Amino acid sequence: MSLQIVRIPVLSDNYVWLVHESVSGETMVVDPAVADPVLIEAKAQGWTITQIWNTHWHGDHTGGNAGIKAATGCTITGPAAEAERIPAIDRLVAGGDCVKLGEIEAAVMDVPAHTAGHIAYHFASEKAAFVGDTLFAMGCGRLFEGTAEQMYANMRKLETLDDETLIYCAHEYTQSNGRFALTVEPNNMALTSRMAQVDAMRLRGEATVPTTIADEKATNPFMRAASVAEFAERRAAKDRG
């Protein structure tokens, strides 16, 4: 892997991802909720931030845009459909576009539902995807600006990625997602053993992401829903819980 990826925990449960490409020397930030902890981590690594990539407009994903741009002069890329709500955005992209960190390419995927213009960034050559608030470990984003049909379609899109693809999501929601997943599939052995592992990791204060497509196919009740109706029922039950 020619990318180095550093996880920066901020706010109560957000993860900001710092991604360094060593050939070009470029460093990119995915969804900076805040500026200072990101600037401090980049400095500690000896890296200079050249780009920010946003997945959607929510403040806990874009709150650091202006501060990081002011400090570094970086270029900000984000979803065209949400451009007017993304601070300091420079470059508007949508599904099918290609973005680059150095010479390494990422495909932009449209994954609307959590927000209407939500996108994800997939580095096929690196087997890594940055999915914001669309897919979580054993969970998926809430349907704030979209429908169950759309999120179900997103699950179908994401499950086509290579099984080993690392999924970099934006929150540490794994344990509560897993507790819900167990109510849906109490006899899923992959799920019960994953949850035992997750509980132990959280007890030690460890992060449980990135996850992988293979793990999500085996344990995620939203990815595993067999129809839009089943997906919608599970999403509604999780929202009530």
Active site residue 61: yes
Q: What value does the CA radius of gyration of the chain take, rounded to a whole number of Å? A: 17
Given the complex with Fe ion, which of 58 and 224 has the nearer CB atom? Answer: 58
As beta bridge partners, residue 132 has 169
Asked if 69 and 50 count as a contact pair (C-beta separation under 8 A), the reply is no
Residue 26 binds which one of Zn ion, Fe ion, none, with CB within 5 to 8 A depending on kind?
Answer: none
Asked whether the CA dihedral 122, 128, 134, 135 is positive or negative, the reply is positive
The amino acid at residue 165 is T
Active site residue 60: yes
Residue 224 binds which one of Zn ion, Fe ion, none, with CB within 5 to 8 A depending on kind?
Answer: none
Selecting among 20, 56, 118, 122, the annotated active-site residue is 56
Given the complex with Fe ion, which of 58 and 235 has the nearer CB atom? Answer: 58
* Smallest gap from residue 48 Cβ to Zn ion (A): 26
> Which residues here bind Zn ion, judged by CB under 5 A?
60, 133
Cα-flanking dihedrals φ and ψ of residue 124, to 5°? -60, -40
Q: Which two tokens stand for residue 76?
A: 């900000």
Among the listed ranges 12-20, 51-59, 74-82, 172-180, the one in contact with Fe ion (CB under 5 A) is 51-59
If one asks whether residue 171 binds Fe ion (CB under 5 A), the answer comes out as: no
Q: 59 Cβ partners below 8 Å, 6+ apart?
A: 33
Active site residue 163: no
If residue 195 lies in a helix (H) or strand (E), which one and from where to where?
helix 189-203
As beta bridge partners, residue 77 has 53, 91
Selecting among 58, 110, 122, 215, the annotated active-site residue is 58
Active site residue 58: yes
- x/- mask, Fe ion, residues 180-209, rule CB under 5 A, reads ------------------------------
Active site residue 171: yes
If one asks whether residue 58 binds Fe ion (CB under 5 A), the answer comes out as: yes
Cα-flanking dihedrals φ and ψ of residue 90, to 5°? -110, -40
Asked if 151 and 223 count as a contact pair (C-beta separation under 8 A), the reply is no
Among the listed ranges 29-37, 93-101, 127-135, 229-237, the one in contact with Fe ion (CB under 5 A) is 127-135
Cα-flanking dihedrals φ and ψ of residue 228, to 5°? -60, -40
Q: How many residues form the binding site for Fe ion (CB under 5 A)? A: 2
Q: Which of 26, 82, 133, 172 binds Fe ion (CB under 5 A)?
A: 133
* Smallest gap from residue 187 Cβ to Fe ion (A): 32
Quick one: which of 142, 141, 143, 145 has its CA closest to 133?
141
Q: Which residues sit at the interface with Fe ion, rule CB under 5 A?
A: 58, 133
Q: What residues are labeled active site?
A: 56, 58, 60-61, 114, 133, 171
